[in-house]
Chain A
């Protein structure tokens, strides 16, 4: 344990993040809203500045040097993403504007595949971005949306899940980690069971990616999606991993430049993968910076990150429960997220007070109203820790919670 702590020097890491040195309301910033978006290390900021200072150009079309440099950097970033998720082919990685965009791309594609009476399963733990596109898809195709229920612990009910699967099930949709609770879902089991009935599986990795390095081949998942900004990268960039066979089957999502092969007014033939799904000028700089972010994280190592974050999670959980009158939602196997309430105090009030003390947490329903309805609560306070947070920050946070509790009780 001591050895691991020595290997992981959090103070050294914090120096990489300029934002962590600013003040909020006259207090040093404590950023515990990492599940909403992660902060950006200097290495990624430098990469963005370098792109616009040295080789900003449109890609895949110009023969000039700048365009070729930008194209190379963009495609190198795709390969970094491919290697990170261990995809078999670089063109199985589609760059999108984010998780929501990736999900909509797949949902749109399935509108051409689904027929009336087909079934889609979604977990009860989903973010709104994972519910709404499927509802729209069902309205469009006459397919039926069914829900994999959850237990009080925040774990999904796998027995019911298995019983819901049948030959009409065409798609199963589940997040790897719940954004509202931080619970890690048994996706390997979910994928295996879905495949037994021939259903495709889309896993939303947005909340898992900062903590867990998913191996899409080992998981045998059909689609895996995430956003760069959850993993120290920029906003407006996301990824869709899709198995080649599926990406070939799905029709293009958006029409425009880049995604075409031949265009006449009579007929257009589409470009091959991945360009078929990357219409228009992509977020070139963002994608390159995403590559830099993955380099940064992999350089520290996901095992090291997970071990340290787990230590923070346990430390904070213990201290928080000691405050008293605290309910934590979601137990069992979790990433470093604590979703909680204090008896008879609205989460919004707690968020307001701790913000005055320089601490950023998320309050509200976390875009997962069905989960809040399940627990019959208006929302929760969610503190989510990253590898650049410290136990000292958690101590300050606990003091802030005690103060808020005192003021609001």
Chain B
């Protein structure tokens, strides 16, 4: 069934819930939307935090949490979204249309196409691809990519970036089996290769 066109701007999801838990819901959402998602995790959910980020959540807040902290995280995530989508900031590095070979990215519209075919990316995937494609041929370390994709308060491990890149490639390959513009440099990071 298609999603309603007027989806919320973002979702805050508990992980452990009856009927359908937060992980399942995230998975279902990610099949169709790039809606920003914050997970609420319990003390015993530490594995879930990492897994959640790997599955495409944008951030997580540990229970018990202060309401102020949650509001801050929500605002930070919406700001990141706005930085991609805003038309008020003019043509900065963040809002400039990128055309690299077959890749076309329009941050103001949060749209990505490869060989003229649209690809739907989450905020995090979009920011990673944008960062790599801005400087083709230059290597970005996982640390640099983490800084691009997450706020300072969010701790993610290297493998989280790897998972995002893996998912990003998979999405690009849905429109082109031969997509290979994102190169892995083992132990170093990633590089965008312009064909």
A and B part of one assembly: no
Residues of B at the A interface (CB closer than 8 Å) are none
